[in-house]
Structure 1
Amino acid sequence: MKFSIFLLLLTTTLFAQTEYPKDYFRSPLDIPLKLSGNFGELRPNHFHAGFDMKTLQKEGLNVYAVADGYVSRIKISTFGNGKTIYIDHPNGFTSVYGHLQKATDSIESYIKKTHYKEQSFEIEMYFKPNQMPVKKGQLIALSGNTGASEGPHLHFEFRDTKTEKIINPIFFGFDALLQDTKRPIVSNLYVYPLDSKTTVNHSQRRIPINLSLQKDGTYLADKIIANGKIGFGITTYDYDDFSFNKNGSFNVDLFNNGKSIFGYQFNTYSFDEMRYINALIDYSFYKKTSQRIQKLFMDPPYNLSIIKADESNGIITVAPNLANVCRLEVSDFYGNKTTIAIPVEYDSLTAVIEKEAVMANYVVKSSKDCFFEQSKNSVFFPAGTFYNDFDLNFKFSSNVLTVHDDTVPAHTNFTISMESDAFDPTKKDKVFIGRISGSGVSYNTTREKNNVYEIRTKTLGQFKLAMDTIPPVIKVLKSVEGKNLDNQKVLQVRISDGLSGIKSYNGYLNGKWILMEYDNKTSLLTYDFNDGIAAAGDNELKVVVVDNVGNSSTFETHFLRNQKL
């Protein structure tokens, strides 16, 4: 009992909101703040790390430094946040600006020089406090759609400078820039039997529970008849008054007989915790339906700091002569709340719907190292690879290695090895282990020694050895051969590779390396004539593209310009 009280006090203390400065930072945009994504929103393999701010469905809006500080880091990537600027502030926080079209003034000039110095589009730079100072409200960039962005917007974050923990921007006074009078929506409630002996409403499988709106605005769930250990799950989202986007819900609390037994609040967390989203959600259901059920229990526990739980970890034991009156509260930062009463009663039921059968021939114990081998092909799971024990389907047939399927999430890398002497010894560097996806295979970085090929991956599924001897394809969008391009601001080339994928790309104009920006969404390389490298008269263009196993393609052409920019 003493331990329970201590744990409750500890989690309450840890969950208390830290005081953050409310009036120190301004908005990075000079238009009304509207969100297309909020902090903690559920994304593939991670929680969203900040605010996605709408930019009027276009690029090129001014982006400003939110406070005095200095540019501490700049990263240019074809994936993730694309073109990103980081500013460290003297009060111990870092602001992050992502998916930018480009930086401005001296910042952009420094970036351009670094591109040419390193002869690479993808670069990363770190700065000291006196190198690139900025003032609050200073124009630092233009908004864009770079990296993994699915449309023009500004990705914006706050981080603790020392720990690099990500913090919800709502705590920094950004709540005053938004308006939210709407309660979060719980679109579905589910109940889970958590062991082989438990039956819920005559089922040994997860089942949905109907909800009825009451006169006081709360909801009442249909009565649950169960025996043994059960847990709940929900699908939930939240609207604000102006954005009309389904954003994530801020706070969830589950009570049993008036006691808080499980909950979480999206306030702050570290990047190391991101992948625990796959433990929080019903991952199997998500892979099958693309819908994310947030589980309100941990079985077994995992180290996600946003979770507060008592000793039950959200698991409710339904037993004879033991009442269970459950209540679920989902709320936003502004205090708007949705409440669901969930009546639970004991009854010894027979299972009409039995537990779903799983095709398997081995058992994985998540707390132990596990090694399985068939026909000189093997898989090794280090202890802690998975969140739960599970029955594994592992076999080798028709040159395909089946390592279960992607309905079980892996938290860390595991190793797959495949042995074969069927490949030409002179072309072993073109062979890789590919994960079968539809009619194709996805590339994995592969090591080879003595005809044994090996990869490290976090994704289960079917794998096979594949060889890629086909070079990448390079196509100019519109022929420029011998043409005058005085009226063109840019020159674009599309590149692609049908198997192992693009590893590197380089452009040369009159023998000099040129910056060609790569957009992975459109597969376009773009050269901007404002670089000033094009000569008056004839110009020779060469583009070289290499795939992940070393196949190379070269495209060459020439064009005319009567004036030098």
Structure 2
Amino acid sequence: MPVRPCSKKRSIKTNCRTCAVIILLLVCGKASLAQQTIQSKQYPKDAFRYPLDLPPVTAGSFGELRPAHFHSGLDFKTMQRTGFPVHAVGDGYVSRMRIQFGGFGQAIYVTHPNGYTSVYGHIQSFTPEEFKYIRDYQYKNQTFEADIAVPKGMFKVLKGDVIAMSGNEGASAGPHVHFELRDTLTQETINPQLFGLTIPDEVPPTITAIGIYHLNGNPFSEKTPKEFLSVTGSAGNYHLLKPQVLQLSGNTGFGIAVTDQNSASNNHNGVYSIQMKLDGQTVYTFAVERFAFDQTHAVNAYTDYPAFLLSRRMIQKCFILPGSRISLYPQSINRGIIPFNDNQLHDVEFICKDVMGNTSTVKLKVQSNTSANNIAPLKPLGTLMHYDDNNDFYNGKVRVQIMPGNLYDDLDFMYDTQPMKPGAYSVTHRIHNKFTPIHDEYELWIKPDMDLGKYADKAVIVNAATGSIGGQYDGGFVKATAHAFGDFYIKVDSVPPVITPINIRNGSNLKAISAIKLRMSDNLSGVKSFAGKIDGKWVLVERNYKTKILSYTFTADIVPGKHNFEFTVIDAKNNIATFTAQFTR
């Protein structure tokens, strides 16, 4: 196994991001009061209508902070009900339809001739023609989950046409329509309110705290010295709860806790933009105009991730980690990091706006104090990894390979072991800690401490916090792709899944029953696939994300008489469980 230890020393890069062009566009609200909104370009204001014939009320805003992602659209409320007509927001054609376990549950995509695509998620049902197209695809491909690219011209729509009914499908916390507008070419998602699909809003953001991070050239981590100061105020004007002149020294980063509401809902949403000024000069700008989906995990670089894990506190850092590549930072000087080294008194101001231009500010007085104790430069206690390198750690028992683009900052990588857990085939390997987020993934190899024997092909790597991450045995190691740091060990999955019938058993009379219902579970590696058959012919078994119930709804081709039902589940290590029952219809 090749080894490339990551032990070279070098200074951490200080990048300076500046935006070539920031266009300040006038966005008119319901009160006809023009406000300045930070945008890189103009979007057509009259091209699209709202997706529902309901007053526009939202539960979630575009770019709102969610665990592990930025919210990619607007969540339009439907009065806690399902079944409202969903309208095409513009002329175009249905280009994609999707059925999935979790996520949107059911979604439809409409491509428009002006270069944008609209997305409608969590829908309850499609039009009869769309529904037949989906069912035909599912039966042809023998699959419940379906991501269907629809040929252009198959389903043409006009602005206002009903294309679906609103619902509560998939990973939805309540009835609503998740709505997006995407750039058709790049598939970047764009704030729908910039297209004129605005929400009534005369409420400025609410600021509750300021964070101060003493960086002094060191990478950001859970060990970064920091302090949080409470903020109070109202009507857009905020100040420190305990007014004071802050004594700061060296390279300093700031953060802010801020949320927003609109006039139509009590939900706490995200702000549109945050600017930080030093003595009147803007040194940092954040704006949720548009972003690509492969960037969305960078919310963990934007927020104080350790603080969120420890206290669920959402602090939005006003300095940019060097490995963060999301396009929500249109401007910065020195990545928003301020060097306080001149013994002068400075003004630091935060300007927070919603998309309608409602504004809240908080101002700080900072005395730059070079005589204060500076934070010592990083002296790695483990292995120094660089965010822009191919990092490879290997010690004979474990290997960790992290490719560029997965660390947001340089990392003092720590490794340790813990005692072997019952049923494990290796000691527990502590791969750094949970407070450092991974943007996407890294490769992890673990060498068994016990002979796997005939169970080598059943071995998986287990994250002690979340469960199996899969794995394959090769060359004396079990290898898997991991998405987070933590404690890992090897286990073996030789146990088949469990099938629990709900309303069917051998000999059942199902004449009055509209659907066969079951549950399934797996003890370790997770379900890989499932399939139902009646009289040897594949039938569609649907899986409900909320209830976890699997159901086959009888169709007209199941004629009266005796039939045989078979349901098979295969887990990720190819353990198989089968349930069979004869029934009368």
TM-score by length of 2: 0.87
- Deviation readout 1:318-363 (Å, 9 max, x if unpaired): 12343311111101111211110111012356669x99x9995333
Tell me if structure 2 keeps the 8 A contact 1:226–1:349: no
Tell me if structure 1 keeps the 8 A contact 2:279–2:347: yes
Q: Which residue of 1 aligns with 2:255?
A: 233
Q: Secondary structure at 1:66's aligned position in 2? A: coil
Question: Quick one: distance in 1 between partners of 2:50 and 2:549?
Answer: 32
- Greater Cα offset, 333-342 or 19-28: 19-28
Q: Pick one of 314, 317, 335 that aligns with 1:295.
A: 317
Question: Quick one: distance in 2 between partners of 1:215 and 1:46?
Answer: 29
Q: 1:245 to 1:135 in 2, by over 3 A?
A: same
| Corresponding position: 1:519 with 2:544 | yes
Q: Which residue of 1 aligns with 2:28?
A: none
Q: Which residue of 2 aligns with 1:21?
A: 44
Q: Pick one of 545, 550, 556 that aligns with 2:580.
A: 556
Q: Pick one of 68, 81, 85 that aligns with 1:62.
A: 85
- Deviation readout 1:489-512 (Å, 9 max, x if unpaired): 322211111211111111112222
Amino acid in structure 2 at the alignment position of 1:153:
H
Question: Quick one: distance in 2 between partners of 1:374 and 1:492?
Answer: 50
TM-superposed CA distance for 1:480, in Å, is: 5.0
Question: Quick one: distance in 2 between partners of 1:453 and 1:7?
Answer: 41
- Greater Cα offset, 499-508 or 213-222: 213-222
TM-superposed CA distance for 1:282, in Å, is: 1.1
Q: Secondary structure at 1:455's aligned position in 2? A: strand
- Deviation readout 1:60-114 (Å, 9 max, x if unpaired): 3222211221111112111322211111011111001112222121001110111
Q: Pick one of 391, 407, 411 that aligns with 2:412.
A: 391
Q: 1:9 to 1:373 in 2, by over 3 A?
A: closer
Question: Quick one: distance in 2 between partners of 1:517 and 1:222?
Answer: 61
Question: Quick one: distance in 2 between partners of 1:428 and 1:53?
Answer: 50
Question: Quick one: distance in 1 between partners of 2:381 and 2:22?
Answer: 42
Q: Which residue of 2 aligns with 1:546?
A: 570
- Greater Cα offset, 251-260 or 403-412: 403-412
- Deviation readout 1:432-460 (Å, 9 max, x if unpaired): 111111xxx62223122232211122211
| Corresponding position: 1:405 with 2:433 | yes
Q: Which residue of 2 aligns with 1:430?
A: 458
Tell me if structure 1 keeps the 8 A contact 2:470–2:480: yes
Tell me if structure 1 keeps the 8 A contact 2:78–2:175: yes
Q: 1:256 to 1:301 in 2, by over 3 A?
A: farther
Question: Quick one: distance in 1 between partners of 2:138 and 2:23?
Answer: 48
Q: Secondary structure at 2:124's aligned position in 1? A: strand
Q: Which residue of 1 aligns with 2:117?
A: 94
Q: 1:361 to 1:163 in 2, by over 3 A?
A: closer
Matching of residues 104-115 of structure 1 within 5 Å: 104-115=127-138
| Corresponding position: 1:281 with 2:303 | yes
| Corresponding position: 1:445 with 2:467 | no
Q: 1:78 to 1:150 in 2, by over 3 A?
A: same
TM-superposed CA distance for 1:197, in Å, is: 9.5
Q: Secondary structure at 1:106's aligned position in 2? A: helix
Q: Which residue of 2 aligns with 1:461?
A: 486
Q: Which residue of 1 aligns with 2:213?
A: 192
Q: Which residue of 1 aligns with 2:145?
A: 122
TM-superposed CA distance for 1:183, in Å, is: 0.7
TM-superposed CA distance for 1:299, in Å, is: 4.2
Q: 1:7 to 1:474 in 2, by over 3 A?
A: closer
TM-score by length of 1: 0.90
Amino acid in structure 2 at the alignment position of 1:410:
I
Q: Which residue of 1 aligns with 2:448?
A: 420
Tell me if structure 2 keeps the 8 A contact 1:471–1:553: yes
Tell me if structure 2 keeps the 8 A contact 1:211–1:222: no
Q: Secondary structure at 1:274's aligned position in 2? A: helix
- Deviation readout 1:515-556 (Å, 9 max, x if unpaired): 111123332112122x32322122322111111111111112
Amino acid in structure 2 at the alignment position of 1:272:
D
TM-superposed CA distance for 1:412, in Å, is: 3.7
- Greater Cα offset, 111-120 or 269-278: 269-278
Tell me if structure 1 keeps the 8 A contact 2:82–2:168: yes
| Corresponding position: 1:249 with 2:271 | yes
Amino acid in structure 1 at the alignment position of 2:118:
S
Tell me if structure 2 keeps the 8 A contact 1:190–1:234: yes
Consecutive unaligned residues in structure 1, runs of 5 or more = 1-5
Q: Which residue of 1 aligns with 2:423?
A: none
| Corresponding position: 1:183 with 2:211 | no
Amino acid in structure 1 at the alignment position of 2:395:
Q
Question: Quick one: distance in 2 between partners of 1:16 and 1:33?
Answer: 23
* Count, aligned residues: 544
Q: 1:141 to 1:544 in 2, by over 3 A?
A: same
Amino acid in structure 1 at the alignment position of 2:210:
L
TM-superposed CA distance for 1:11, in Å, is: 4.0
TM-superposed CA distance for 1:155, in Å, is: 1.1
Amino acid in structure 2 at the alignment position of 1:472:
P
Q: 1:9 to 1:270 in 2, by over 3 A?
A: closer
Tell me if structure 1 keeps the 8 A contact 2:214–2:251: yes
| Corresponding position: 1:346 with 2:368 | yes
Q: 1:472 to 1:349 in 2, by over 3 A?
A: farther
Tell me if structure 2 keeps the 8 A contact 1:99–1:155: yes
| Corresponding position: 1:209 with 2:209 | no
Q: 1:334 to 1:215 in 2, by over 3 A?
A: closer
Tell me if structure 1 keeps the 8 A contact 2:249–2:373: no
Amino acid in structure 1 at the alignment position of 2:446:
M
Question: Quick one: distance in 2 between partners of 1:188 and 1:169?
Answer: 29
Question: Quick one: distance in 2 between partners of 1:370 and 1:423?
Answer: 29
